[in-house]
């Protein structure tokens, strides 16, 4: 696969993932699918990879036979704390519950990524999935601080009910690992995985 001659599709409408892809210099388009994201896995890294695969294959199945070499990138981020896998909160109370659990603790953020490479006219892709993990420690937070953050409306489209790059940054004490992984896409790892994947295709 020559990446410069390959159409790249990001199977996500996350503005944070789009921005990271742009920062890395990729020319890509956005395509998403309505495939139900139902996982059979129980470990957080497996959940993130399975959901990323569902997203990628959901987009692939919605497209007609691809005329050009195409790379589809699916990604999914989950937060893991006290044996609970957290996705996006369902409502205000769920966001409060999540943040109450995360405060004054270290939790893990997993982003799973699936790469599908279709050569011209071939309906069977080469597939690669991987994940990245980052440890995040949240400062102690009062109920008022939690409510104040939720009222910024920043919680509801993010795994674990927070965004590290937004107003919640003041409540992050430290991280161990890739910051961009917490944002939603481990862009450095993705870059190298794509290059290695290209060599194998």
- Domains of the chain (ranges; CATH) run 3-200 (3.90.950.10)
Residue bearing the bigger pLDDT, 191 or 4: 191
Confidence (pLDDT) at 34: 83
Q: Does residue 85 sit in helix, strand or coil?
A: strand
Q: Enumerate the active-site residues.
A: 76
What does the mean pLDDT of the chain come to? 93
- Secondary structure element (H or E) that encloses residue 45, with its range: helix 44-62
Q: In this predicted structure, what is the pLDDT of residue 1? A: 57
Beta strand pairing call for 70-81 and 7-10: parallel
- The pLDDT value recorded for residue 33 is 86
Residue-level pLDDT at 148: 98
Q: Average pLDDT of 23-50?
A: 92
> What percent of the chain has a predicted confidence (pLDDT) above 90?
82
Give mean pLDDT, residues 63-68: 73
State yes or no: pLDDT of 142 exceeds 70.
yes
How sure is the predictor about 201, in pLDDT bands with cuts at 50, 70 and 90?
A: low
Residue 126: Cβ within 10 Å count: 15
């Amino acid at each position: 696969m020559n990446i410069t001659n390959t159409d790249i599709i990001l199977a996500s409408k996350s503005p944070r993932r789009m921005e990271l892809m742009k920062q890395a210099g990729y020319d890509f388009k956005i395509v998403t699918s309505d495939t139900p994201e139902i996982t059979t896995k129980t470990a957080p890294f497996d959940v993130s990879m399975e959901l990323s695969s569902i997203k990628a294959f959901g987009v692939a199945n919605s497209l007609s036979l691809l005329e050009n070499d195409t790379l589809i990138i699916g990604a999914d981020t989950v937060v893991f704390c006290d044996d609970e896998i957290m996705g996006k909160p369902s409502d205000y109370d769920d966001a409060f519950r999540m943040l109450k659990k995360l405060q004054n603790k270290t939790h893990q953020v997993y982003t799973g990524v699936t790469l599908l490479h279709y050569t011209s006219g071939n309906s069977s892709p080469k597939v690669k999935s991987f994940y990245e993990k980052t440890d995040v420690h949240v400062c102690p937070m009062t109920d008022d601080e939690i409510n104040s953050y939720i009222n910024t409306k920043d919680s509801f489209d993010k795994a674990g009910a927070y965004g590290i790059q937004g107003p919640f940054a003041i409540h992050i004490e430290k991280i161990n690992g890739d910051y961009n992984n917490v944002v939603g896409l481990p862009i450095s790892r993705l870059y190298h995985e794509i290059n290695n994947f290209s060599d194998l295709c």
